[in-house]
Structure 1
Amino acid sequence: MDLASFLADVDAQPWADLQHAYGSAADVPGHLRALAGDSEEAASEAVSELYGSILHQGSVYGATARAVPYLARLAGAGYRTEDLVALLGGIAEGGADGGDSDEAACRAAVVGELALILTAVDAGDPGLRRAAAWAAAMTNAAEQVLPVLHRRWKTETDPLVRAELLGAMAHLDPSGTAGTATAALGADEPGEVRIAALLACVDGGLPWGPAHHGAMLSLLPVNGLVEDRMDLERNEPLQYVVEALLLRDTDADRDATYTLLDAALRNADPEAREEALWAAETACLLSRSAPERLSGAVEALMADPADAPAAYSLLTKLGVRAAVAAPALVRLAAGEGDPADCALEALVAVAPDRAAPLLARDLGRRPRALRAACGFLIGGTADSSFPYDPALLDAIRTRLGSDGPDADETVRLVLLLGAWGSRASAALPELRSALPGSPKAVPKALAAICPPEHRAATAELLTAAARTGPEDGRLAAAVAVRELTGETGPLLAAVAGHLTPGGPAVREAARLAAELGPEATGLVPALRSALSESEGTRNSPQLDADVEIAAALWRITADPEAAVPVLAGVLAEAEPTWTHWTLGRAARAAARIGGAARPLVPALEGLLTDRVQIPSAVLALHAIAPESLDGPRAAGLLLDAAERDADAVTALEALVALGPTALTAAHHRRLTALAERDRRVRASGVETRIAPADERLREQAREAARTLAGA
């Protein structure tokens, strides 16, 4: 390669006009020059910079496709060949087949360099052969690539290269590679090849049989066998197999999965058990039967106190199904420091009644367990199911009366007291003292625990807080006054004080005004003044606040002219990709208005093309213009959304609203399956919230099925 000509060509490109992850791609020529330079350090840094800019976390850009031919020419000339072939593979992996997007252009550009990549499949260096096999597969150009990979497979002896070849063939032709993978399961193959074969068998859709089960167990722990692979999607093979089998959602695959996990969790090797624990946690996130099916191995996991902490995360997901672990956890939680706190945190999930007295014993030094007891593990709010315990109540009172708790701990203690209600009434003095330091959390708890004989004095304290207390706690204090006494004057005043355009609490204030209904008539001018003024450029908080204001105006005035134009503006301006929850709120607000919101029908019908928006749109259209809906079609769309967890809660609500006449027999079967299938509907989000949220959704689906079947 004529380096001077190459660099001149590089400089002639309009890099400054192209974009990568960090904006202008004007820095790309410098990185290409460094790759061709004499400094090894500079070349290594250039590779790293290119991964960060033109292939940022797997994403590709306009500058990426333009860089591909230059990367290939450098690789062909012997400059960082292995690194650059791997980079080309990553670009192809981040690309797409067809279309006119940057992604499609990137993959097409790498396909244009396949001759170089396929030649490298036969290179003398095994590292380059591995990179080339993987990169070639990422192009998805099966007709060109598979013959080369098959030919090389017949002669390749290096275990890592053979593993990469097998993975590449499985990527391009999963079912067609299953036979080759099965033949490679035997003990005469190195472990790196055998684990690649197991993964290829799964990708090829083969039933998981005794040979696969035995091979996986014989290879555990397996993560080390893939740590040098180019394929990062399968870098935890046991977890990958468990996930793939459970996603098939058949009885046979579930039985195979849990038989495998049970054996792996009982493995004598701690590293193997660690891999099995992570795979078991994945099962809990995917499968409703996981807690029951995995509970049998709990006792074995807790046999050695030194190994038990590794199982805590799984135990919290198994919950009461892991009750057999309680005695061991009690012993460990009785210790000192963070290890005891971690054990107690797990005990809160497994046997909360046994955790309460231990938490009381050393409350100030058990922050993780307190967080769990307050329900922060399952949704961020207090969980009233954590058992009331007199000793723990005394400990909380002592803790609140000391100088020890910080603001976060105080909030947790307050939430726990509020969840106990009147049983925690003895803590009234401590809560009253905590009000100035936690003005948002304490009022609700005060209202919850306050006994009748102290309501007047407590309401007086809260009224003062609502008028002159910290700004961020006035609404909460006013709400508590209303709950204790029924008086709404403090709430009306607090809401009025927060209805300032762009204010941080406008949305909450508007929601409370809506709850007051016609009693809040005097707030109408303030509500109108609080509407956003920057139509066309509003951000999500502003749009959300305007939806709440529109809902409040309707509830207070019953005048659609006050609310419908506001909702129309939000529906027109909100962008579905980034503000889909805002659109859902606007549709729900329209549903509450009913027939008077008919001008919004075209905008709501437009939402039916977006699965996430379908549930709220159907709910609104049914309330506003039911004749505009084809019942069976709408039911099908709602079930599609629910099955894919696209606002499934609203989808089920809308199904019930449509009524039984909208559902066909097939729809009823799908609804029943949604409630009774093993695969979780909720399978994404914060891990600790997935299973509880899915159980609530399951109960909602069961209730919907009963309602629609019996109506």
Structure 2
Amino acid sequence: MDVAQVLDASDAHPWASAEHAYGSAEDVPGLLRALAGQDEEAAAEALGELYGCLLHQDTVYAATAEAVPYLARLAAAGCRTAELLGLLGGIAESGDEHGVARGTCRAAVAAQAPLLLPLLSDADPGVRSAAAWAAGHTAAPREVLPALRGRWAAEPEAAVRAELLDALVRLDPAGGAEAAATAALDPAQPPRVRVVAVLACLDAGLPWTAGHHEALLSLLPAGELVAGRFDTERAEPLRYAVEALLERDTADGREAAFALLEAALRAPRPGARTEALWAARAACLLSRSAPARLVPVLPPPLPDEPSPARDVLSVLELLPHHAAPAAPALAALAAGEAEGEGAGDGDLADRALAVLVVADPERAAPLLARDLAGRPRALDAAAGFRAPADAPPFPFTPELLDAVRARLAAPDSALNRNEPLHLARLLTGWGERAAAALPELRAALPRLPRAVPGALAAVCPERKREKVAGELRDAVAMGPAEGRLAAARALYGMTGETGPLLDALAAELADGGHTMCEAARTAGELGPDAAELAPALHAALGGPAAPGQGRTAPRLEADAEVAVALWRITGEAGEAVRVLDGVLAQAAAEPWFRWTGVRAARAAALLGPAGRPLRPRLERLLADPERGQAPAAALALLACAPDEADRTALADAVLAAAEEGADPETALEALAALAGDGTWMPAGEQARRPAALAERDRRVRGWGVEHEIVRADERFRERARAVAATVAGLAP
């Protein structure tokens, strides 16, 4: 096939009518020409841009499907064949399609099988591997399997055989499983083939046997055996195997996963233990029973072995509440008692102390006081920014108070980025016990205007309140603009004065900056006392977007907060309903506004029956389970139209969302609301599902900031048990 003919055909294609990740696909023919050109640097750049626009973060588009024939023809013509086969395989693999019918892009790749399959016999093993990878993702077994089987019988190269085996099992799990199992258990097979075979057995759903267990253990560390494969999902074979076994959600699967990890953690090869720790980390993120099983068998984070200590800490950082057995080793590491390679490793000590702060706060406090400036992670943990709102404050000690005072007095250039907020939060938690820090707080007020006011009010003893209140009034009137709202809120908390707070809120609303949501929320909390802010709130509402420009999520969310504030202040629902209707409409129209829709629905719930006109919008959110907005929509429907809500249908939608991990906390709120109004009578399976949410092994909360997942899921589980008990009491 002639490259010039392919490029000429591409030039004639109506690309302007198709879109990719960055809009119009008019740039595709130019990228294809650069890809096929003689300039190596330009060709590599073009390949990267094609990945970025046609397979953007594993998402495919209408232009992707239209580009596939040209990519396949160029590959068949010898133009960067292996790289383009990798791209085609990635396109076929993707299940995230935007602006195109499901399966369109995969079908486009499958249609190119006559061009792709001959490449299984190419002289270059890299091309043969890439062809197997692409063919294996076509979901076209009838067209592809005969060629794959023929090549499997003839292929001598281990790397290519591994890709062929993976493709065979993917397209024909039942038929390919026998070959995979044989290869996995035969020590005579090349290690690269064996490790792929073990994973293929899991993919095929074969029972996990002692043979699989021993085979995988014997191959550790296995990461190097799969290096260079297109399949990044299985780049860590041990972790993949553990996750696959846990996802079977059976007692046998869990036991197999934990036994595999325990054996790998005892392996004498350092690389094997490292991979075991990575896999243990993944297991704890996935399984509720993993921490109790794995923490006792983790190797201690020894100060004189910094490399394995870092890997152990990467596990303990996920579950510091379970790390008490490691407290002595953590304390030694945090104290800097390292020798050799680990000596003077401040980051390692800081990470260890951050875990100890949660696992054993009393033991951690003197260590934190010893080097507060050099322990930013530990300070963050002690300040409790990741802890639940009702968590107790970090232990007070005079030594730690002295250290905090010294840091407040340090020049701004010596403070870490968020350190002032962390120091202030510590002091706020200690209250008047930290009154000795008043001089430093007062001196820092002009320099740290956002962090200091709340702490200043919290630690101030009664005898000095009048003086401190005067300083806060001055900060509202004359201090740095970015701190006036914080000062006004602190003053309001001390004295109940609304005047300075209203002035500060009016200024923030007029500014329209990133604090708009906070200002509107605070205004709404004041209720009718903030009546004079109504004009400023009306003025703060965003107008229609300019032609061709959508409104941003922050702008929409600010409008929702302003709408609720107006309702709380004026008691008039018309404007709030109009604004929320617009926000909900735009949130439903754009896939990236998922959380905007959730927040707008929660705002609608605050209106109560006055929000009834929003019912059609809310029902549309409820009907789209993939967007994860059903729990918030159900909560709003119960509040806005309680007499018209089908409680059984609402409960089903909410439970389905929670079971998939879609806004599970709001789902519990909605279930509690359903259970609390006395009209929902759950029966049969529906009555049992809340308890299943609480007691299942797979975490419900499996997304978000990694260090918060385990604790967030544990808090969810506690609340879910309470809701489940209430629901069980309603069942007939």
Q: Tell me by how many angstroms 1:613 deviates.
A: 2.3
Q: Which amino acid aligns with 2:171?
A: L
Output aligned runs, 1:321-336, within 5 Å.
Answer: 321-335=322-336, 336=344
User: Which residue in 1 is equivalent to 2:584?
Assistant: 571
User: Which residue in 2 is equivalent to 1:342?
Assistant: 351
User: Which residue in 2 is equivalent to 1:410?
Assistant: 420
Are the structure 2 counterparts of residues 113 and 523 from structure 1 closer, same or farther at C-alpha, using a change threshold of 3 Å? closer
Q: Which amino acid aligns with 1:113?
A: Q
User: Which residue in 1 is equivalent to 2:453?
Assistant: 443
Work out whether residues 130 and 165 of structure 1, in 8 Å CA contact, stay in contact via their aligned partners in 2. yes
Number of aligned residue pairs: 709
Residues in 2 aligned to 1:650 and 1:480: alpha-carbon distance in whole angstroms: 30
Residues in 2 aligned to 1:61 and 1:399: alpha-carbon distance in whole angstroms: 53
User: Which residue in 1 is equivalent to 2:619?
Assistant: 605
1:507 aligns with 2:506: no
Are the structure 2 counterparts of residues 171 and 377 from structure 1 closer, same or farther at C-alpha, using a change threshold of 3 Å? farther
Residues in 2 aligned to 1:174 and 1:670: alpha-carbon distance in whole angstroms: 32
User: Which residue in 1 is equivalent to 2:472?
Assistant: 462
Are the structure 2 counterparts of residues 382 and 159 from structure 1 closer, same or farther at C-alpha, using a change threshold of 3 Å? farther
1:680 aligns with 2:681: no
Work out whether residues 501 and 531 of structure 1, in 8 Å CA contact, stay in contact via their aligned partners in 2. no
- Secondary structure of the corresponding residue to residue 296 of structure 2: helix
Greater alpha carbon shift after TM alignment, 194-203 vs 58-67: 58-67
* Alignment match of 1:359 (pick from 338, 356, 368): 368
Are the structure 2 counterparts of residues 189 and 346 from structure 1 closer, same or farther at C-alpha, using a change threshold of 3 Å? same
User: Which residue in 1 is equivalent to 2:714?
Assistant: 695
User: Which residue in 2 is equivalent to 1:552?
Assistant: 565
1:619-667, Cα deviation, whole Å (9 max, x unpaired): 2222222221111111111111111222221211111111263422322
Q: Tell me by how many angstroms 1:41 deviates.
A: 6.1
Output aligned runs, 1:163-312, within 5 Å.
Answer: 163-185=162-184, 186-299=186-299, 302=302, 305-306=305-306, 307-312=308-313
Residues in 1 aligned to 2:476 and 2:328: alpha-carbon distance in whole angstroms: 48
Q: Tell me by how many angstroms 1:693 deviates.
A: 1.5
Output aligned runs, 1:520-559, within 5 Å.
Answer: 520-534=530-544, 538-559=551-572
Are the structure 2 counterparts of residues 3 and 180 from structure 1 closer, same or farther at C-alpha, using a change threshold of 3 Å? closer
Work out whether residues 348 and 372 of structure 1, in 8 Å CA contact, stay in contact via their aligned partners in 2. yes
Q: Which amino acid aligns with 1:311?
A: V
Residues in 2 aligned to 1:22 and 1:562: alpha-carbon distance in whole angstroms: 36
Q: Tell me by how many angstroms 1:301 deviates.
A: 5.7
Q: Which amino acid aligns with 1:351?
A: D
Work out whether residues 386 and 708 of structure 2, in 8 Å CA contact, stay in contact via their aligned partners in 1. yes
1:392 aligns with 2:400: yes
Q: Tell me by how many angstroms 1:11 deviates.
A: 3.7
Residues in 2 aligned to 1:269 and 1:558: alpha-carbon distance in whole angstroms: 69
User: Which residue in 1 is equivalent to 2:633?
Assistant: 617
User: Which residue in 1 is equivalent to 2:487?
Assistant: 477
Q: Tell me by how many angstroms 1:357 deviates.
A: 0.7
Normalized against structure 2, the TM-score is what? 0.90
Q: Which amino acid aligns with 2:655?
A: L
Work out whether residues 590 and 597 of structure 1, in 8 Å CA contact, stay in contact via their aligned partners in 2. yes
Q: Which amino acid aligns with 1:285?
A: L
Work out whether residues 376 and 382 of structure 1, in 8 Å CA contact, stay in contact via their aligned partners in 2. no
Q: Tell me by how many angstroms 1:151 deviates.
A: 2.8
Q: Which amino acid aligns with 2:376?
A: P
Work out whether residues 373 and 386 of structure 1, in 8 Å CA contact, stay in contact via their aligned partners in 2. yes
Q: Tell me by how many angstroms 1:527 deviates.
A: 2.4
Greater alpha carbon shift after TM alignment, 659-668 vs 128-137: 659-668
1:539-558, Cα deviation, whole Å (9 max, x unpaired): 33332222222222222232
User: Which residue in 1 is equivalent to 2:316?
Assistant: 315
Work out whether residues 96 and 104 of structure 1, in 8 Å CA contact, stay in contact via their aligned partners in 2. no
Q: Which amino acid aligns with 2:565?
A: A
Are the structure 2 counterparts of residues 572 and 149 from structure 1 closer, same or farther at C-alpha, using a change threshold of 3 Å? closer
Residues in 2 aligned to 1:708 and 1:382: alpha-carbon distance in whole angstroms: 25
Greater alpha carbon shift after TM alignment, 682-691 vs 659-668: 659-668
Percent of aligned pairs with the same residue?
55
Q: Tell me by how many angstroms 1:593 deviates.
A: 2.6
- Secondary structure of the corresponding residue to residue 101 of structure 1: coil
Residues in 2 aligned to 1:32 and 1:621: alpha-carbon distance in whole angstroms: 51
1:138 aligns with 2:146: no
1:121-140, Cα deviation, whole Å (9 max, x unpaired): 23343222211111111111
Work out whether residues 60 and 103 of structure 1, in 8 Å CA contact, stay in contact via their aligned partners in 2. no
Q: Tell me by how many angstroms 1:159 deviates.
A: 1.4
Q: Which amino acid aligns with 2:84?
A: L
Are the structure 2 counterparts of residues 699 and 149 from structure 1 closer, same or farther at C-alpha, using a change threshold of 3 Å? same
Q: Which amino acid aligns with 1:408?
A: N
1:708 aligns with 2:714: no
Q: Tell me by how many angstroms 1:670 deviates.
A: 0.8
Are the structure 2 counterparts of residues 357 and 210 from structure 1 closer, same or farther at C-alpha, using a change threshold of 3 Å? same
Are the structure 2 counterparts of residues 597 and 330 from structure 1 closer, same or farther at C-alpha, using a change threshold of 3 Å? closer
Q: Which amino acid aligns with 2:188?
A: D
Residues in 2 aligned to 1:8 and 1:268: alpha-carbon distance in whole angstroms: 59
Normalized against structure 1, the TM-score is what? 0.92
Output aligned runs, 1:59-74, within 5 Å.
Answer: 59-74=59-74
1:580 aligns with 2:581: no
Q: Tell me by how many angstroms 1:120 deviates.
A: 2.1
Residues in 2 aligned to 1:13 and 1:502: alpha-carbon distance in whole angstroms: 46
* Alignment match of 2:527 (pick from 496, 517, 522): 517
Q: Which amino acid aligns with 1:357?
A: P
1:626 aligns with 2:642: yes
Work out whether residues 284 and 290 of structure 1, in 8 Å CA contact, stay in contact via their aligned partners in 2. yes
Work out whether residues 449 and 486 of structure 2, in 8 Å CA contact, stay in contact via their aligned partners in 1. yes
Residues in 2 aligned to 1:9 and 1:667: alpha-carbon distance in whole angstroms: 57
Residues in 2 aligned to 1:463 and 1:64: alpha-carbon distance in whole angstroms: 60
Greater alpha carbon shift after TM alignment, 601-610 vs 636-645: 601-610
Greater alpha carbon shift after TM alignment, 663-672 vs 51-60: 51-60
What root-mean-square deviation, in Å, do the aligned CA atoms of Structure 1 and Structure 2 show?
2.8
Gaps in structure 1 of 5+ consecutive residues: none
User: Which residue in 1 is equivalent to 2:339?
Assistant: none
Work out whether residues 141 and 171 of structure 2, in 8 Å CA contact, stay in contact via their aligned partners in 1. yes
Work out whether residues 356 and 392 of structure 1, in 8 Å CA contact, stay in contact via their aligned partners in 2. yes
Q: Tell me by how many angstroms 1:141 deviates.
A: 0.7
* Alignment match of 2:440 (pick from 417, 430, 447): 430
Residues in 1 aligned to 2:234 and 2:543: alpha-carbon distance in whole angstroms: 51
Q: Which amino acid aligns with 2:290?
A: A
Q: Tell me by how many angstroms 1:21 deviates.
A: 4.3
